Every structure is written in structure tokens, then in C-alpha cells.
Amino acid sequence: MLSRTGPFSYKAVNKTGTAETTAPLNFPKSGFERVEEGAVEPFFVEPLKPAQVTEGDTVILKCRVNKEP
């Protein structure tokens, strides 16, 4: 069962205009941990990379996030 959701938005911009989309981002309840003293914020191990696509094509955006205890 999903216990939390949050909006995820993406905005594409080029010389002819902009387009935006928003979708819910769901986190399973079991995915949350208590924050321990000395914990650090999550950080991007692999950030989003630029992508070029043709209108109407599908694009998959990937990034990797990690944290240290």
C-alpha cells in the first residue's frame, strides 16, 4: 500500500516554446527510514543527462540517487 505521494514536474524548453507535465511520485511506506543523528542528505550519483528527441517519440530520463548513513 502506498502511503505518500508527491508531484513530479518536468519542463521542456526550446526556441519555439515550452511544455510542462506533472505526475504523482509514489513512495511505498516501507521505503522510509528514521533519520539518525549524523545522517547526510541524499545526493546524485548519476545526474540527469541531456537528451535530444523528435516530437512524438518517447524519452526515458534516468538518474541515480544515493545516500550515506
For residue 31, the model assigns a pLDDT of 56
How do residues 24-65 score in pLDDT, each as one tens digit? 766 565 555 666 777 777 777 887 788 888 888 888 878 777
Q: Where are the beta strands (DSSP E) in the chain?
A: 2-14, 17-28, 43-46, 64-66
- Asked if 22 and 39 touch (Cβ cutoff 8 Å), the reply is no
Statement: the pTM of the whole predicted model exceeds 0.75: no
How do residues 2-12 score in pLDDT, each as one tens digit? 344 567 777 77
Confidence label for 22 from pLDDT (cuts 50, 70 and 90): confident
* pLDDT tops 60 at residue 1: no
Residue the block writes with cell 545522517: 39
